[in-house]
Amino acid sequence: MPEQTSGQAPAAAWAPVGRPLLSLALTSMMDAVGAHSGAVYLRPGDAPVLEMAVMAGLPRSFAAPWERVGLSAPIPVAEAVRERRLVWVGGQEDMARRYPRIAVVLPYPFALVALPVATASRVYGAVFLTWPGSHPSELSDRERRELTSACERLALRLERAAARNHAVLAESDLLEAGPLGGVSDTLGSLEAARMVARLPYGMCSLDLSGRVGFANAAASELLGVPVGELLGSQLWASVPWLNDPMYEERYRAALISQDATSFVALRPPSEWLSFRLYPSTTGISVRISRARAVSEMRPAAPRPGDAPTRLVSMSQALSMAGALTETVSVRDVLGLIADEIAPAVGCQALALLGTRAGRLRVLGHHGYPDPHSVERFDGLPLSAPTPGTHAVAHGVPAFFDSREQLERLYPARHVSPDGFAAWAYLPLIASGRPVGACVLAYAEARRFSTHERAVLASLAGLIAQALDRALLYDVKHQLAHGLQAALLPPSLPSLAGLEATARYLPATRGMEIGGDFYDLVPSAPLPAAVIGDVQGHNVTAAGLMGQIRTAVRAYTTVGQAPGEVMRSTNRLLIDLGSELLASCLYLRLDPARGRAVMARAGHPPPLLRRPDGRVRVLDLAGGPLLGIDGTATYPTTEVELGGGCVLALYTDGLIERPGVDIEDAVADLGGRLGAAGDRPLEELADELVGHYATAEERIDDVALLLLRPREDE
């Protein structure tokens, strides 16, 4: 990307209002609550992004990874807008726990608040403010009132500006910086300068951007750089052996935390110097002296000609790397690129490409007005003359500054425009092999600078690692679901006089397959139902589950009684030599008589809801788990199952929750069955699985089988 000068806001599509509205509002908020830095974000129209419009108190480079963020990004300003509420982060530990990506880039003690700038009908943007780590861990009521009121007033001003067709221009950042190298002509200031010049140790003054505003003769001698070369430059840029991210990081730590920090550095060839940084809201005073004996390992000295380290690029890489490690599926990777990386690099559309059997595959895309303009490339042979196939097949990046440049090299694009004017085709290489390509499309022609190409290439490497993992995950996920679908009945048979429905939810740990099963067997003369649970959430458990289900069907078909079906299945499990155990509940159904005969092997008791809404726990007699004792017997119990009743069979994943007594969990399930039992069976099943169906994490499988005799048959 083109480099941005610290302290200058990036160009944005806003027209001026006529005065620095945002800067005045921001500094007023900071003064009211004693914050030492902050920023205002604006939302351009209805776009799902926030753009930093002005920052105060710290260099913009500190917030470089978040200058332009998607509304879905897991950061405080985006969360404040999404949920339309104040978001408070009380310190370093709180930040690391809730927003680990920010904590990786800014691992310093500071507190932060974010608020939406919104009216009842529209969100205009957001504000964040920061305090040093010494701020109390809670925001006071006065601070909340001040900030909430200030954001409401700012939103009303922006609303009035919009009503007059006056949008708001991104403003110059506010840094407290005095004249570089100058001193006042007052006697007191002159005498102070003379006093500092006479000190036996070095003294430097840095502004908020790290530029040297004053250095005494001792500092010049210790650093080995004339005062004239120090003034106006960043310390780590003018002193070659300080050109190390570790030293610049100490400067950032001092400014953000507002705590004194120190470090030692080796001045080649053998002299160690001690640096002590004393920060304030206007800059940093640095004391430099010769260090005592230092035992630390010497850092590698920078090579002559090395360019100054760019903190912005390092921060962006850290932030993106942390975000990409959280992705799981290809959809996650695409969503992250769309929500966070695309806004950061300024592109308006993107596509993820992969390969299969020598052909190009479009894994996903975002931002294209006409999806067909991307999807039509799906299935092309890798030998086809397109920039996408070339990037995937040969692993060579390609940057096209304009449509003319692209069409000159690929004439076929004349007849297939996608509405964009510049493109970056980034090959994704993982473990030395191409796994795909990422296409970034820009609305306007642009020149890709050397720095921007390097940044995009670095991001492509991070994306490649995430995509490689995601492709493996998706294959495993598809395999697991295919296996589970093959082992469970695709649908339940229709039985005379009986309604039935079922639900199955895999555990979210492991391979997302498990040993829970259910079945409804339309045997003659009476049908049967079964539900069971084999230990484990892996291929072994799923395979054994399939064998048990098949065995139960076979024993039912040959006419064995319920107790004998259990005994036969138990002996089979022991004969198979598996170390896994299984619970099971088997029913022989007689809808015409309104009766059911049940046999139980260590399975949770079924629930019976009567027509009057009362629910009974059928604590049936039974035998041990299948697979323990080859001589075990399984007594049977006959229960009433008349018209209007609902019988709920389930596995323990539906009732077991950490910290909840099993009897209380069964009672809770019975209460929900009693309250919703008159609803259609499909709705009732959805109600009973409840939050399990949408939970991001399930520690166990869940199976549910509901049976209801039809009253009209």
124-172 confidence digits (pLDDT tens): 999 999 999 889 989 999 999 999 999 999 999 999 988 888 878 888 8
Place of tokens 């430059």: 233
Query: Which band of pLDDT confidence, cut at 50, 70 and 90, is reported for residue 251?
Result: confident
The arithmetic mean of pLDDT across residues 21-44, rounded, is 91
Strands 636-640 and 212-215: unpaired
Whole-number Å distance between alpha carbons of 40 and 53: 6
Q: CA-CA-CA-CA torsion for 64, 65, 71, 75, nearest 10 degrees?
A: -110
Whole-number Å distance between alpha carbons of 68 and 65: 8
Per residue in 651-682, pLDDT (tens digit) is: 988 888 777 888 888 999 999 999 998 999 99
**More reliable by pLDDT, 578 or 304:** 578
Question: 46-55, 68-77, 287-296: which has the minimum mean pLDDT?
Answer: 287-296
Whole-number Å distance between alpha carbons of 544 and 1: 56
Considering only CA atoms, which of 490, 547, 536, 489 is closest in space to residue 513? 536
pTM of the model: 0.48
Considering only CA atoms, which of 32, 54, 31, 50 is closest in space to residue 42? 50
The arithmetic mean of pLDDT across residues 601-618, rounded, is 92
Query: Which band of pLDDT confidence, cut at 50, 70 and 90, is reported for residue 266?
Result: confident
Of 168-172, 446-450, 538-542, 674-678, highest mean pLDDT: 674-678
The arithmetic mean of pLDDT across residues 183-195, rounded, is 53
Whole-number Å distance between alpha carbons of 474 and 126: 36
Residue 413 has pLDDT above 80, yes or no: no
The arithmetic mean of pLDDT across residues 592-602, rounded, is 92
| Sign of the four-CA dihedral 539, 544, 546, 547 | positive
**More reliable by pLDDT, 570 or 462:** 570
| Residue % of the chain over a pLDDT of 90 | 32
Question: 47-56, 284-293, 583-592: which has the minimum mean pLDDT?
Answer: 284-293
Helical spans, DSSP H, in 99-140: 100-105
299-338 CB burial, b ≥16 within 10 A, e <16: eeebeeeeeebbbbbbbbbbbbbbbbeebeebebbbbbbb
Whole-number Å distance between alpha carbons of 19 and 212: 31
Q: Which residues pair with 69 in a beta bridge?
A: 50
439 near 353, Cβ under 8 Å?
Answer: yes
pLDDT of residue 484: 65
646 near 673, Cβ under 8 Å?
Answer: yes
Six token digits for residue 404 = 């003319």
Six token digits for residue 426 = 């980034």
pLDDT of residue 213: 86
Mean pLDDT, all residues of the chain: 82
Residue 311 has pLDDT above 90, yes or no: no
pLDDT of residue 104: 64
Whole-number Å distance between alpha carbons of 542 and 532: 12
pLDDT of residue 150: 94
Whole-number Å distance between alpha carbons of 164 and 160: 6
Query: Which band of pLDDT confidence, cut at 50, 70 and 90, is reported for residue 315?
Result: low
Give Dmax (Cα) for the chain: 112
Q: Could you give the angle at the alpha carbon of 456 between the alpha carbons of 75 and 375, nearest 5°?
A: 90
Per residue in 192-224, pLDDT (tens digit) is: 666 776 677 888 888 888 888 888 888 888 999
Whole-number Å distance between alpha carbons of 649 and 586: 10
